[in-house]
Amino acid sequence: MPELPEVEVTRLSFAGRIAGSTVLSLRMGKPLRWPLGCEPAQLAGRTVRGVRRRGKYLLIDLDRGLLLLHLGMSGSLSFAKQLPEPGKHDHFEMVTTQGSLRLNDPRRFGAVVYADSEDASVACKLLGRLGVEPLSDDFDAGQFHAGLKLRRAAIKQVLLAGDVVVGVGNIYASEALFLAGIRPTVSAARLSRPRAARLHAAIRDILGRALTSGGSTLRNFSSASGEKGHFQFETMVYAREAQPCRVCGKAIKSLRQGQRSTFYCPACQKV
DNA sequence: CACGGATCCTGATGGC
DNA sequence: TGCCATCAGGATCCGT
């Protein structure tokens, strides 16, 4: 569910409310993708300084150490002064003096990992290979083009890999490529500079607009304060197979790339 | 070493 | 509240 916009919407929905709190207790449910990496009780008494985002990771800074949270495919957070009784898919909960933060993640592809610092090996392993932040000033069209030139794989898969640019998942990869008029199967290395520049602009545009719309809620995504996203109503190609293109009217097609479905307009998107 | 595939897990959906 | 196959927003690891 969560790509960059959903993760950022989540962050914005609780960062201000949890900042400055003191951790009272931590509870882990069924195993997530990786072990927590410390004894839960060890974190009691620490202060929450704030919440940052890097790619699709949320970084909860403590006065000593930090927690790295990933929502995987099906994760969502809730933060409230009082939360209802935990359900079967609630696998992490941190009670603080200002409220409780809970991860609900049916598929358990998500993760909560403690690191002593961002330089600790666990953190480096998870964050070290991440590409540039697409909504930051560091995301430069020229450098993006140079990065793509080194990759022969299909542009859609290079976007998903996250080592050139982070945060673009399966929905927004299809959407950005539609906006840029680029067929998802084109080799990244073969994109001309102007086409790479169009894609650069399209990624910023699509992620920015999705963020403004509160993200996409396909199944059950909501922010940590329970707000649903509504960008799913604005998609041009994603999950619209056989429906008419909103621009030219031709039927949207789908294909599989690396076990993921891709959607595109055969007329608007050029090889 | 860049790439493609298998893999982790549960739930929803649709065909039979 | 049938059974089975397929698919789902991610990303790491492994073999080539």
Which bases of strand C have any atom within 7 Å of the beta carbon of a protein residue? 7-13
- Could you give the residue numbers annotated as active site of A? 2-3, 56, 260
Question: Is the C-beta atom of A152 closer than 7 angstroms to strand B?
Answer: yes
| Strand B nucleotides within 7 Å of a protein CB | 2-12
- How does pLDDT run across A139-185, given as a tens digit for each residue? 999 999 999 999 999 999 999 999 999 999 999 999 999 999 999 99
The answer regarding whether domain A4-127 maps to CATH 3.30.428.10 reads no
Q: Hey, which residues does A100 pair with through a beta bridge?
A: A80, A95
* A20 CA from C2 C1′ (Å): 53
Domain boundaries, chain A: 4-127, 141-264
Q: HEC string of A90-135?
A: EEEEEEECCEEEEEECCCCCCEEEEECCCCCHHHHHHHCCCCECCC
Residue whose CA lies closest to nucleotide B10 C1': A107
- The per-residue pLDDT for range A227-259, each reduced to its tens digit, is 998 987 789 999 999 999 999 999 999 999 999
Q: Decide: CB of A30 under 7 A of nucleic strand B.
A: yes
- The reply to whether the predicted model has a pTM over 0.85 is yes
User: Class for domain A141-264, per CATH?
Assistant: mainly alpha
